[in-house]
Amino acid sequence: MLIDPNYAAKHSPTGELIQHPLFVVQVAFYCIENGSGSWIRSPGARNPGQKIELFEPFKAGETISMTVSPFDKWIRRGKHYITDKLDFYNQYGVHKATWWLTLILPPNRSAMLHFARL
Amino acid sequence: MADITFSRVNIGDELPEIAHVVSQEVIDRYAVASLDYNPVHTNIEWCERARVFGTPKTVGHGMFTMSLMASVVLRAWGAAAPRIRCIEAKFTKPVEVGSRLRCFGRVKELHPIGPGRNFVVVELQAVDSTDAIVGVASAQVALPD
C-alpha cells in the first residue's frame, strides 16, 4: 500500500497509495536541494532526535511546498543544538505536516570548516 | 491485521519485533531514497578521518532508525487503518555499519476521545546487536473506532 499503486487501488481505504509516516524526510531533503539552504546537510552535524506531526496524509499527485523557520537553539552539556520548524503544504495551502528538525552542530565556524574540509 | 480497531487495543499490548541489518548497502540505499548523502553515512574514508561519533565507521541514518520504529506499527496493524499522527524520537547511540537493529513497541496509553478521534500512544524502542538502546520513540496512532 506504500509503493504499489495497483495493490493500493484494491486494498487501501482511499483507493490510493498510503504515505509512509516518515515520507516528509524525502520531501524535506528534496526541497532543501532545490531551495534555500539549512543546517540539515552540515558535515559533522549529529541527529539527537526528531519530532514529526502529520495533520493530513500526502496524496499522489499533490505538489508539496516546504517552509523552514528557525525555531530554537540552545547549549546543553557543551553541545550546540538547533531546531528548525519545517512546515509542509499542498498546492491549495493545506497544512499537511510539521517537522521539528533538531541537530547538534559543530560548536563554531572553524569546527564546521574542519569537517567540511576533511 | 487490517481490521485493527481502537476497542481491540489494550494498554500493555506488545507489537511484534522487526529486525534489520544495517549494512553499508542498506545505508547507501537509504541515502539515495532520502537524498541524505551526509558523509557520516556514506563516505567510509571521510568517517575514518572525521570520527564524528568517535568511531571510524560509517553510521546509519537516524531517520532510518526512526522509520524502522514507525514500521513496527505499520507491520503490526497494517498500513491502511492506523494513522500515525505524531512521532517523536530520541537517538541515544549511533548505529554503526553492520549493526543488527531490532525494533519493538508497546501500547502505553489509550485516548478514548470520541468516535473518529480515538488514538493510542505506542512506545517504541530500537536496540543494536549488543542490546544497547539506540533509539526510543513515542507515536500517537489514530485508530478506527
Contact A86, A66 (CB under 8 A): yes
Domain ranges of chain A: 20-117
Contact A19, A57 (CB under 8 A): yes
Q: Does A104 touch chain B (CB under 8 A)?
A: no
Taking the CA of residue A49 and the nearest CA in chain B, the distance in Å comes to 4
What's B81's DSSP letter? S
Taking the CA of residue B37 and the nearest CA in chain A, the distance in Å comes to 8
- B23 grid coordinates: 549494512
A16-27 average pLDDT score: 90
Would you state the pLDDT for residue A2? 83
Closest chain A residue to the Cα of B78, Cα to Cα: A1
Q: Could you give the count of Cα atoms lying within 13 Å of A106 in the half-sphere of its Cβ? A: 16
| This prediction's pTM | 0.92
A5-13 average pLDDT score: 85
Contact A97, A52 (CB under 8 A): yes
Closest chain B residue to the Cα of A56, Cα to Cα: B85
Cα separation, A68 vs A34, whole angstroms: 13
Would you state the pLDDT for residue B13? 98
Closest chain A residue to the Cα of B3, Cα to Cα: A13
Residue A36, pLDDT above cutoff 60: no
**Tens digit of pLDDT at every position of chain B (145 positions):** 557 899 999 999 999 999 999 999 999 999 999 999 999 999 999 999 999 999 999 999 999 999 999 999 999 998 777 789 999 999 999 999 999 999 999 999 999 999 989 999 999 999 999 999 999 999 999 999 8
Class of domain B6-142: alpha beta
> A20-117: what fold?
Thiol Ester Dehydrase; Chain A (3.10.129)
Asked if the Cβ–Cβ distance from A44 to B40 is below 8 Å, we say yes
Residue A38, pLDDT above cutoff 80: no
What band does A48 get if pLDDT is binned at 50, 70 and 90? very high
Taking the CA of residue A48 and the nearest CA in chain B, the distance in Å comes to 5
Determine whether A42 is exposed, middle or buried from the number of CB atoms within 10 Å of its CB (0-12, 13-18, 19+). middle
Domain ranges of chain B: 6-142
Comparing CB atoms, the residue among A21, A41, A51 nearest residue B70 is A21
Taking the CA of residue B12 and the nearest CA in chain A, the distance in Å comes to 23
Q: Does B5 touch chain A (CB under 8 A)?
A: no
Closest chain B residue to the Cα of A22, Cα to Cα: B67
Cα torsion through A67, A71, A74, A80, rounded to 10: 0
For B24, the 3-state DSSP assignment is helix
Taking the CA of residue B143 and the nearest CA in chain A, the distance in Å comes to 13
Could you give the residue ranges of the DSSP H alpha helices within B35-145?
39-42, 44-50, 62-77
With beta carbons under 8 A apart, name residues in chain B contacting A42: 38
C-alpha distances (whole Å) from A23 to each of A30, A98, B13, B42, B84 are 11, 12, 27, 21, 12
Would you state the pLDDT for residue B133? 98
Q: Does B26 touch chain A (CB under 8 A)?
A: no
Strand partners, A103: A82
Q: Does A31 touch chain B (CB under 8 A)?
A: no
Contact B97, B58 (CB under 8 A): yes
Asked if the Cβ–Cβ distance from A53 to B39 is below 8 Å, we say no
Q: Does A41 touch chain B (CB under 8 A)?
A: yes
